[in-house]
A and B are shown apart, each in its own frame.
Chain A
Amino acid sequence: MSGRNGLVSSAMLEPTVSQRLGRGALIVVALLFLGGFLILPVVAVFAQALSQGWKFYFESIRQEDVLSALRLTALVASIAVPLNVVFGIAASWAITRFDFRGKNLLITLIDIPLSVSPVVAGMMYVEVFGLHGWLGPWLSEHNLHVIFAVPGIVLATVFVTFPFVARELIPFLQAQGSDEEVAAVVLGANGWNVFWRITLPNIKWALLYGTILAASRSIGEFGAVSVVSGHIRGQTTTLPLEVEMLYNEYSFTAAFAAASLLTLAAIVTLVIKKMIEVTSGWHEAPGEEEVES
């Protein structure tokens, strides 16, 4: 078997010796990379967090500052994620179901948070809402605090997470087409009925998937939040910011203990994500065609 034919048919036939070697080498490289750059650091986080024993670990977590950071992170996520779900459904619905001027612009705009550095995002909000920003004087006149306060953190988090739901839904809605919705309309259903009875049941897995991604990002966001937060301990410090502050104060073990919470959140996210994929049979075969029998 020549090398070229072997490549083409390798899925079907017994691999040759050189193919086996090549395959083995690739797997080793991938595993080494994963081990060195991902698994080892994750293990290191927990090792460092527990380096002074479980007692110290729980004490570190139970510090008032850490707990308040945890509460703020949960609050921000619980505001940002629902906002993203609503925005994501509206944007992806508009993009896949209607033709309008500026549609391509909207698709591009949705991607901006993914391409722009989060620090820049934070600075944009400071420029708009900060004391010396465009809306700053008006806001302070009315005693409204956005920057260096919770609303600013929520805004920054919404900004960095808003592509996630929309980007999951757009390809899914495109692949699915609008036939079922049109059928429902012709049968006399109004928009409300079409959405709740037809669209939502069909996109529920994609929506959940995008929501999980958005939630995980909003819990972990650092850059944009760091700029608008003001780092006021116990008031405007989210969990990632608390980790950094502890670290900068040389409380390494406490910093890693807090960091381990974020790591756990990430692992939980991965597990949920995998469960969605398995139980729904979705994402492995997106936009599955209806095949004639």
Chain B
Amino acid sequence: MSIQIEGISKQYGSFSALSDVSMTIEAGELVALLGPSGSGKTTLLRIIAGLEWPDSGSILLHGEAAAQQSASRRGIGFVFQHYALFRHMTIFENVAFGLRVQTMPRRPARAEIRERVQELLHLVQLDSFAKMYPEQLSGGQRQRVALARALAVRPKVLLLDEPFSALDAKVRKELRDWLRRIHDELHVTTVLVTHDQEEALEVADRVAILNHGKVEQIGTPQAIYDHPASPFVYDFLGNVNLFHGRLLAELSLDGPTGGMESHVESVIGFVRPHELELSRNLPEGQKAVLASVVRIHAAGPRVRLELSITGNGRPVAAELSRQRSEQLALTPGEFVFVWPQSIRLFDDAGAAAHLLDQGAGI
């Protein structure tokens, strides 16, 4: 079932949780709503679920306006951050709850409920836990029960509100992969709210990045990572180096994207650590800055370096492959030339973005 979100706004007193948010989520898609806390992502999810009401705008579920439908009639599965399992019921009863409370013509027979619950417990690999109570389960297991419970009523839409954020890193990773497998099996339209960019980029078909109640960008994980639409998105999606600088006259003319407005002078350049090139010798014609090596973190598949720009002392993070690092054999305290292989420039307002080639005037 597709979800159309049209011009949703929501105020809490003077705080604007959502302002004029629109997006379309296709049937069978897994979309992540990604943003920092207070960005409005959870509010949007709760509005889709019918747990909150927008001040203006509308939600269309499969083309039908949802405003008249209460949360209990929208056919939605909801998974909460803190599981919200019924603590006085066994795991079996938790999963069966949604089926048991259905009104008579729709309520399945006892045997049918039993079969469905067992099928779901099998799906979440908790077959042997049916008779236990939630407090006897680990966090990861509880969240799997919560998912089984949500799926029991065969929801047309599955909504997950930071489902893995209360779990430790290893369990979080496992559940993330597992959620994706379940989604690929069931193809239920899924909206996942998270503040973890890695989670969003890894699991989702498309990612919507929210900030201050507005959608900053929406697109496939790769598109968002490779072409961030704003400084916020750039910053939010991972480690980044900021270079403040002035755009030189010839750059504004020669830039490959062309058309840079002449009044844009002061710019901020964003470079990811792995986009930095390091060398002891400066190749001919290459513009670069000189930096000293502060620290080298060699544990892991990539070698991370902390550098300090000579002159202003600004810190810069660089990331090299193991091979390249061994080639360079840098030691702390050494001086090295640094230049970006690619850089993305934004003006002060963060509005105009121009992808330039290497050597843009730092």
Contact = CB atoms under 8 A, between A and B. Distances in A.
A292 B88 contact: no
Interface in A269-293: 290, 292-293
B91 to A, nearest CB: 14
B51 interface: yes
Nearest to B134: A290
B84 A188 contact: no
Interface in A237-293: 290, 292-293
A180 B168 contact: no
A83 interface: no
Interface residues of B, number: 30
A292 B137 CA distance: 10
Contacts of A28: none
Interface string B59-91: 000000000000111001110101111111000
Interface residues of A, number: 19
A104 interface: no
Most B CB within 10 A of own CB, among A180, A182, A183, A185:
A183
A17 interface: no
A292 B83 CA distance: 11
Interface string A199-231: 001100000000000000000000000000000
A50 interface: no
Contacts of A292: 139, 166-168
A186 B78 contact: yes
B72 A188 contact: yes
Given A292-B139, A293-B139, A182 B84 contact: yes
B80 A179 contact: yes
A246 B278 CA distance: 101
B101 A197 contact: yes
A290 B86 contact: no
Contact of B78 (A180, A183, A197, A198): A183
Given A184-B101, A190-B72, A293-B139, 10 more contacts: A179-B80, A182-B80, A182-B84, A183-B149, A186-B49, A187-B72, A187-B98, A188-B98, A189-B72, A201-B88
18 contacts: A179-B82, A180-B84, A182-B84, A183-B149, A184-B86, A185-B72, A186-B51, A186-B72, A187-B101, A187-B150, A189-B97, A190-B101, A197-B101, A201-B88, A202-B88, A290-B83, A290-B135, A292-B139
Interface of B: 49, 51, 71-73, 76-78, 80, 82-88, 97-98, 101-102, 135, 138-139, 149-150, 152-153, 166-168
- Nearest 9 interchain pairs by C-beta: A187-B98, A179-B84, A183-B84, A189-B101, A186-B78, A201-B88, A293-B138, A193-B101, A188-B72
